[in-house]
Each structure stands twice: as structure tokens, then as C-alpha cells.
Amino acid sequence: MDVLDRKIINLLQAGFPLSEEPYLEVARQLGIEERELLERLSNLLDENTLSRFGPMYDAQKLGGAFSLVAVRVPEDDFDKVTEIVNSYPEVAHNYKRDHDYNMWYVLATDSPEKIAEVNSDIEKKIGMKVFNMPKLEEYYIGLRLPV
Amino acid sequence: MKDALVQQEQVEMEQVALLDDVDRKIIDLTQSGLPLVSRPYENIAQRLGINSSDVISRMKAMKENGIIRRIAAVPNHYALGYKANGMTVWDVPDERISELGKKVGELDFVSHCYHRPRFLPEWPYNLFAMVHAHDHDEARKLMATIGELLGENDRGHDILFSTKILKKTGLRFNL
């Protein structure tokens, strides 16, 4: 990754135009050819320096329901509980964190009722209380990393 | 607060209802990324048999009503050396959380910032802010910066570092 790649990443993190020739507009801002911008962008995506490029949709506004759920899992049971929790297709992400609350999973379902159903099912299977922490209000989502 | 939530939900449901089949197809064709061609919106338009100006105006409308958060590049923070992913959690007064949450969300190093429910007495934290740093020390410094911003409203905080990704699937919307 060179200086130009960094400039491209920083500029495109801020946004991208909705116009007929948006890459040309961005390339002009960077003082490069459109073709070079497209090549570099393609490489940055291929090598996974960028994980995505495009519109970020608000899944909740598209009708989905989401929640972050925490569990305090005794270390000895961790693998077993992980296997049960991960087996649910509604569990989109699951992270181990270094805390008393050491398992944090994200549920993605097509309705809010389904969140409660899946959580109560998981509680029964693992025999532990799960702490359902859906967002009540969102203040920011996005990533702006200076590179 | 409950009324506000119900109201927000109704607004969101109305927005979903505003989407027609063409919008849904545009979402489907762009949710994994924009085409890397000179005229990306025309490329999408051709696949749908409509004009590029139609795609652009529909996407502009979706941006205005928040269905599209933004159109941008998302860096892979691990690949860029941001390996310490810390979930900072804060106990702040409920009556001031909206104002405080917005301020914290404006910090460049905060990628997600939410109000979430407490579970008293064991979980007192109601404000969550995800920070990305190169290492744990840097993440703790960022947490201290948030603490300074919150001032006396910081009634307790903690940071939870991720130690293992147990599951990660890409979210795709079935429309």
C-alpha cells in the first residue's frame, strides 16, 4: 500500500458520488486517471485491504431485527456453549471477549419476536441466562480509520 | 421513551413500505458492492432494463431516508493494523444519553455507538462505543479520551477486548 492507495482509502471512506461517472469525479480530485483509480480499487478489494465498497444499507430499515446478546459462560463450558450458539443460523456473529461476560453474539432475524424466541431457545439449551441488549438508539455507525 | 421507540419503528416500517420492486432489485444488485466500471449506475440500470438516471434518483432517495447509510469504502481494520478491537461500555445518566452518545459517536476512532439496556445490578452500562486501535494500550488511551469527553457523566466504564472470532457470517438481506 503506497501513498496513493492511502489517499484513495481515506477519500472513499468519506463517501462516493451518485452521478453518471463517479469514478472520474473521484479520480480528478486525486489528480489521477479514472483507469488507475479503478485498478487500484480493484486490487485493494482483492487483497482485502478494503472489505467492502458500495452502498451501506441499514438492515433494520429493510425490515430486519437485530440484537447484541451477552452470556457469562464458565470457561470449562465455553467450547460446548459456542457449538450450540453457533449452530443457530440466526447467530450472525459471535465474539469471545476477555471479561466476565465473555460471549457476545449478534442475532439477525426477520422480526423482533423471533429475537426473543431464539434467545429463549438458546437459554434452555445452554442452561444459562442470556442478556439481550438490542440497540435503543444509534448514535453512529461506520468506520473512519486514517491510514 | 417507549413511545419514541414505537414511533421510530412505525417510521421505519413506513420506509420499508415505500420501497418498490425496482428499489429492492437495486439493493439486491448493490449490497455486495458497486460495479468497478466507469458508469456503475448505468451498469445496474442496464441489468434492470431502466435508465441510469432512475437508478441514481432512487438511490438518492434511499440515502435521504436513511435506507442507505452512505456509499463508501469500508477498510478491513485488521489488514490495516488495527488489531485491538475494544468494546467500551459506559454508565451515563439516562436523561443525558442522547446528547452524550452523539458526541462520542462523532469521535473518529469510534466505529459504532449505541444506547443499550442495562441489567441492574450486574450490568450497569448503557452506552456502548466500539474503538479500533493498533494495540490494547492505544485502545485504553482512546477510552480515556471518551472518559474526558463524558466528564462527570462517566459513572463507571469498562473495556472488553475481543480475543476470538467464534462466528462471522456476511449479512445478506433477503428482500
Residue ranges of domains in chain B: 2-64, 84-161
Chain mean pLDDT for chain A: 93
pLDDT in tens, B71-103: 999 888 888 888 898 999 999 999 999 999 999
Distance, CA of A121 to CA of A85 (rounded, Å): 10
Is the Cβ pair B69, A56 closer than 8 Å? yes
Average pLDDT estimate for A44-50: 94
Distance, CA of B127 to CA of B139 (rounded, Å): 17
Q: What is the pLDDT of residue A128?
A: 97
Which residues of chain B neighbour A63 with C-beta distances below 8 Å?
A: 13, 16
Q: Domains in chain A and their CATH numbers?
A: 3-46 (no CATH), 65-133 (3.30.70.3460)
ipTM score assigned to the predicted complex: 0.80
Residue A43 backbone phi and psi in degrees, to 5: -65, -45
The shortest C-alpha distance from A88 to chain B (Å) reads: 11
C-alpha distances in Å from residue A134, one per residue of A31, A107, B72, B96, B115? 44, 9, 26, 19, 9
Name the CATH topology of B2-64: Arc Repressor Mutant, subunit A (1.10.10)
Average pLDDT estimate for B105-127: 95
Higher-confidence residue of B126 and B170: namely: B126
Is the Cβ pair A62, B160 closer than 8 Å? no
**Res B9 pLDDT > 60:** no
Is the Cβ pair A136, B5 closer than 8 Å? yes
pLDDT in tens, A2-25: 999 999 999 999 899 999 999 999
Q: What is the pLDDT of residue A16?
A: 97
**Res B2 pLDDT > 50:** no
Q: What is the pLDDT of residue B77?
A: 82
Which residues of chain A neighbour B174 with C-beta distances below 8 Å?
A: 110
Distance, CA of B19 to CA of B95 (rounded, Å): 35
User: Which of A50, A138, A139 lies nearest to residue B73, judging by beta carbons?
Assistant: A50
Average pLDDT estimate for B158-173: 84
Alpha helices in chain B (DSSP H): 2-18, 21-30, 40-48, 52-64, 97-105, 136-150
Average pLDDT estimate for B115-119: 98
Q: What CATH number does the domain located at B84-161 have?
A: 3.30.70.920
Give yes or no on whether B2-64 and B84-161 have one common fold: no
Q: What is the pLDDT of residue B12?
A: 52
